[in-house]
Each structure stands twice: as structure tokens, then as C-alpha cells.
Structure 1
Amino acid sequence: MQLPCCKLRTHQWCFLLFNVLLFHALLFGADFVEEYLLQPFQGTYTDVKVLEVRERARKLDMTTARGNITQQYAISNPEACSGKDIFLLVLVFSVPDSADHRETIRRTWANRTHVKEFLIRTLFVLGSAPSLSTQDTVLREAELHGDIVQGRLIESPNNLTPKTILAMQWVVTYCPIARFILQANETAFVNFATLGDYLLTLRRHKEDLYVGRVVHQEMPDRDPSSPHFLSLNQYPDKYFPDYCAGSAFVLSQDVARKVFVASAGVHSPVPYDVFVGLCARKAGVAPTHSARFSGGRHIRYNACCYQFIFSSADVGDDQLASIWQDLRDEKSCSLLETYYGLVACKALTYLDKFSFFSTGIIRDADSHG
């Protein structure tokens, strides 16, 4: 018996094939172009100011300044990296009153301390606590876990740029041996296994690495009524520099040094992730795009998809626990399962942007509940 689908004429098969190819081009095309065609080349630096930043970063020695720098931190935790050969230093930006969420992160994705035999060290970076009782909780937490670094600056969304500078200062002062630095928001999920494998198998030179989901040619907000308004005096350029979205990105140690040195000459009140991009540009470092970082987007969960990606944004505590359990069970995903997992989570993630789709799912769920 011949199946009905086998009776299709040639032009009908061509039409189906065209639509399948178009679907994949729309779903993966932009990521493919950015991943493989828009990567930075090893630079040849002729700009005197760029060369100056790079040379100052190369010669940077914070040994004599450690005593003064310690005063900038309520909890400096100077021994957190002492005597350890750290492959990946993870700085999770958290807020003082998120103790429960930090504990969830410790139990889940930050519970992994090695990739193969290479050491991962996770620290939480905080600003000042809003009350003495919260600060007491933070101090007890720091004593118990030894993974808190707290700067003496007001914890606020408006202070993420100085918080980033403090974090980079801490790295170059107290952890200059870490090969790579991952900066992540506390609402992110990070897959250390896949990210570690990626960093271990890098074919490019290990210096000048600044990798994440790159944002290209974003325009500053020129609407005076917007809370993110930037005047021409504050930022005169038409576009922001290419930068890695702040949910999660990785720097090599030399780039952390270059960003810290360059930050002294960058004063524009841009978002903190754009600020890192400005500092990197000032140091002659171009960001590297990887579609396996989600940027600011939450990726719809699929076990085989999450075994492949590096990060996802806005993951709640309950979902973190279930994701971590799946990863611990080490379900083996075949190439085909990984492919379909990526197609499913990517398609649903993009569809999430359409409110009518999300609303429809919720209504369907309610009607069948």
C-alpha cells in the first residue's frame, strides 16, 4: 500500500523542501551568520591610546595597593582564590536580601566545582545591605560559605556600572591567576559543563576573549520621558559599540585587566553591559558572539536543549531545581534529540515574544486544567 505522502508531485516536494529550508533559515540563520561570519579577527593595533591601555594593563600590579583597595569592600574575601589554580572564576551579581536565591544557586548550577580536572570558583558580588539585620544575615552567610564579596556602594540598578568596576578590581587584585571570568546575573542559569568544554577547546588565542551574546548596533534611548534616556551630551554616538548582553558573558583574565584599566577613562552613564563594551573597545578588544548564550532572553526549557546552551536568563528557583536534577541525571541526548530539542526550545522562545501566543497557551492550559 502506497502512503498518501508518497503520491506528491515533484513540484509539491520542492515546495515542502523550500518551506523546511526557509523555516531553518529563519530560526538559525541570524545565529549562524553572527557565530561564524561576524567573529573578530586578531587585531593589529596602531592607535596610540589603545596601545597605551593595553600596555598599562599588561604591567598592572595591584600588590602595593591591596591595603587601600580592601577598604572599598565591606567583605573583601581576599583569600577566596589563594593557592588555587582557578580555570573559571564565576562572579554572580546578587543583591543582599536574596539569600534564599543564592542558596538555590549553590545547590544547583553553582554546585559544580570542576570541569574535567579544572577548578571552578563561584562568588557572589553584592552591594551594601539596606538594613543592619540584612547585613548581619550577609555576614553569617559569608562566614558559612566563604563565597561573598561585598562592595561599599549602594545596592541599586543604577549602580551596576560601579559594581562592575569593583568586581573587575577585585579580580585583578585578589584573583589574577584565574584564566577566565564569567560575570552573570543571579537570575541566570549557567551550564558549566558545556561552557567549560567550550573554553577548553578554544582554537583561537586565549587572550582578548570577550564572549557572550553580542548586541550589534543598538541605538541609545533618546526619549526624554524614558528612564533610560541618554542625551547627546551624555552619549554623542549614533550607536552603542558591540557588547555582550549582561545576563552572562566571559572575559579572559587579560581582558578583565584591560576593562579595569580602561574604565578610568570611560564616564558615560550607559548600562553596565554597554559600559564593559565601551571599555573593551577602548582597549582594542572586540566581543565574540555565541548563540549558546541567551542574552536577556529566557529560553523555554527542553532537557536536550539545555545540555547544549551556555546560559538562559530569568530562570526561577523551582525551574533551577528541576533543570539541575535533569543535568545531574546526565540523560544522554543523541544528535537527533539535541537537534529537535534546539528547534523546539528556540521556536517556543521566539514565539514567547508574541503576547497572543503566550496568552493562548495559558488559556488552553486553564481550559484543560
Structure 2
Amino acid sequence: MVLKSMVSRRAPLLSTLGISFVVLVLIYNANKDNILSASPCATQNRQHTRNTAQLISQNPFLNSTVPSEKPASASIPVSTSSRKTYAHIIQETPPNAGPEQGFALEYLDQEVQKAVETKKAAIRLLSSPIINQHNMMYLVGREQKCTNMTPEVIITVPSGWGNFEKRQKVRDGPQGKYVRAHSQNALLLFFVGLPPAGIGKNKTQKWAKLQEESEKYADVVIAYFEDKYRNILFKHLSMLQWVINFCPKAKFVLRTDDDVGVKIDSMLVSLRRHSDERQNFILGKQRVGDAPSRREERPHYYLSEEEYEPDTFPPYVLGGAIGYPVSTVKLLYEVARRTKNVWLDDVFMTGICAAALGIPTFNERSFQFTH
């Protein structure tokens, strides 16, 4: 009414134009949000978001959620153009905002692109010819262990064939106690190979003792390969293959060495928590930036350039304690059949094979172990 009265008094032309300009500004500001939300660009953005969510949900190699901690977002600022394009989504971050506020859509775009590329590479790899059969045979298989149960967790322990005292210590330790307390929900198995040639006169006696132990406790699996340190990869594969063949409906696998102290309850809590967020992952004591040993005078870890050419390993977790879902076990086994072997089993399985599929490894405090 005030504006109408002012105009009716035949105000000068300049004043009338000024008033009209003010009216237009007020109308624009009042409807700015509606204009932006109805723009074609915003519609495309919503469609892009739906497509992104669908890609992530269908990809078994990815996390099912956007990471809450955005390590790269701090180094990728949201550009001015992005703030205009996504004005109805992105709010201006207050000067003193914490790291959880704000959301860099450019970071999400990079992750989606990386996810699509990883999935394509994984499909190509899993469709490639098998170069390592890795068809492990068992002298003593314990195939019936999962006949009348579907355990949540299978605790697999690689052990030297003559490590009688160490295996008994595991049975009396956290692993054995957990299995006895959850007898219908957990399983403990030791995996050993055959006695190597030329190990002394008492080989026959030790072999008989191993067979007696296996019959007494019914928890020792004996595989057909020579039980020596540089065959540790075969032992790892024999554990994965056993789970796939004889207990595929189990949920988790925990691999612990026979000479380490671990906290099984805490490890299971971590496995359950991660499984709520993603389908495939590996937990353990993570190593990043390790280099292969090229010193022949240290044969315990020696790895020639012919065996492994790069100067560094991909991130991996130490073999003393490893946790993974059975879905990850199946994927790792199939990749191992299609990838050149590296005898260091933790590097090969949780580093090289996992990286080939984009399966993430996590450093979990609950998986710290002591010797």
C-alpha cells in the first residue's frame, strides 16, 4: 500500500524506477531458494545422486557408506562454481566449523569414479585365466566340522607340524577358551603340512605323535605340501580353501599364529562393526610403505626382483592376526589363482591380491598381538 501510494503521487521517473528495482530485489530474494531448487541443474544433480547411490549399492568391492572421515576433502576445496551449482545442498561452512561439517561433493565424485574403475579392473581380473591351480589336498581334512553347525567365526591357526607345545598353548589360551564358550558358534582348526625331508631320526616318532594329536583333539588339518617356512603361502591358501569348500556359510575367518597372544572378543567386536558398514575388508596390524628385502644373507625374508619387481609393497596386514569376512576369503582365493605368487603370504594375500580388487585393509588396535 505504501509503494502504491508513492507511485500515485506522480513521483519523479527516477524514484519510480528505483522503487521498481527494490520490489524486484525483494521478490528475487524471497523466491531464490525456490528458483534454485526448481532449476534443471538441480534436477540433474538429484538424478546424479540417485545414480551414484545405485552404483555404490551394487558394487561388492566398495564400502556401502560414504566415509565419515574425509582424508582428502581438506585438500580439495569446494570451488565457487560448485557452491553455485549445489547451493541448495552445500551450506556455507562457519569460520570455526569442525571437520565433520561441510561436504565436498568433488571428493565424492572422485571416489565414485575410482570405484567404477576398480570394479571394472576386478571383473577383468576375475574373468582372466587361472595360472595357479592351488587345488590343495588334505591328508586329514576334518570336512565334517561344519556339518551340523554354521559358525560365526572360524579361527584358523597355521602351525609347524612339530609345534606340539604351541598348539596346546593355543587350545588353553584365548582362542580355545572362546571356542569352548561358544561351541555352536565358533570353530578352531590348526593347519600343518607334511614333514620335510631330512629332518633327523626322530621324524617317524614326531609323525606318529602328530597323528595321535589329530585324533585326540580332532582339530588338526594336514595338507599335502612340505611343511617349511617358504611354503607359508600354501598353508594360507589351504586355510582359505578349507573354509570355501567345507564351511562357506560361516561369517568370519580369524587367522592367528600359534605363537601370539590375542584378544578374541575384541577382534570379533571389530569384525562385526566393520561388517555393518561394508561387505569386504581386512583387519589387522597394518604395514604401509614396507620394502622387500633384497639381501640374500637374510634368507628368512629374502625376495628377489624376479619374484617381486616393485620397490615397495602395497599396504598389507601382518600375518600374526588377520580378520576377514568369508566373502573376502572367496575373492582373495580367486585372485591368488590368477596372480603371480609371492611366497610372503601376508604381503601376497592381504596386500597384492586385496589391492587388485580394491579391498581395503584397516589397522585395528584390537588386532595387535604379542609374541
* Unaligned stretches of 5+ residues in structure 1: 1-35, 57-64, 295-311, 315-369
Aligned counterpart, 1:121 = 187
**2:142 aligned to 64, 72, 77, which one?**
77
Taking only aligned residues, the RMSD between alpha carbons, in angstroms, comes to: 3.0
The 1-side partners of 2:244 and 2:226 are apart by: 22
**1:254 aligned to 327, 352, 368, which one?**
327
In structure 1, the residue corresponding to 2:308 is in which secondary structure? coil
In structure 1, the residue corresponding to 2:185 is in which secondary structure? strand
1:266-307: per-residue Cα shift (whole Å, max 9, x none)?
22434111011211122221211113322xxxxxxxxxxxxx
Q: How does 1:179-328 map to 2 (within 5 A)?
A: 179-202=251-274, 204-227=276-299, 228-276=301-349, 277-294=351-368, 312-314=369-371
1:166, CA displacement in angstroms?
1.4
The 1-side partners of 2:213 and 2:145 are apart by: 14
1:46 equivalenced with 2:117 (yes/no) = yes
Residues 1:83 and 1:69: Cα distance change in structure 2 (over 3 Å): farther
1:204, CA displacement in angstroms?
4.2
Residues 1:161 and 1:38: Cα distance change in structure 2 (over 3 Å): farther
In structure 1, the residue corresponding to 2:221 is in which secondary structure? strand
Identical amino acids, percent of aligned pairs: 18
In structure 1, the residue corresponding to 2:193 is in which secondary structure? strand
Aligned counterpart, 2:232 = 160
Residues 1:188 and 1:38: Cα distance change in structure 2 (over 3 Å): farther
Give the aligned residue type for 2:185. Answer: L
1:46, CA displacement in angstroms?
2.4
**1:137 aligned to 209, 218, 222, which one?**
209
1:1-23: per-residue Cα shift (whole Å, max 9, x none)?
xxxxxxxxxxxxxxxxxxxxxxx
For these two proteins, the number of residue pairs brought into alignment is 251
The 2-side partners of 1:138 and 1:152 are apart by: 15
Aligned counterpart, 1:148 = 220
Larger radius of gyration: 2
- Scaled by the length of structure 1, the TM-score of the pair is 0.61
Question: Does structure 2 retain, via aligned residues, the 8 Å contact 1:210–1:287?
Answer: yes
The 2-side partners of 1:203 and 1:251 are apart by: 9
Question: Does structure 2 retain, via aligned residues, the 8 Å contact 1:53–1:258?
Answer: no
Question: Does structure 1 retain, via aligned residues, the 8 Å contact 2:266–2:366?
Answer: no
Question: Does structure 1 retain, via aligned residues, the 8 Å contact 2:125–2:338?
Answer: no
**2:164 aligned to 96, 99, 102, which one?**
99
In structure 1, the residue corresponding to 2:267 is in which secondary structure? helix
Residues 1:248 and 1:215: Cα distance change in structure 2 (over 3 Å): same
Give the aligned residue type for 1:256. Answer: V
The 1-side partners of 2:190 and 2:70 are apart by: 35
In structure 1, the residue corresponding to 2:188 is in which secondary structure? strand
In structure 2, the residue corresponding to 1:80 is in which secondary structure? helix
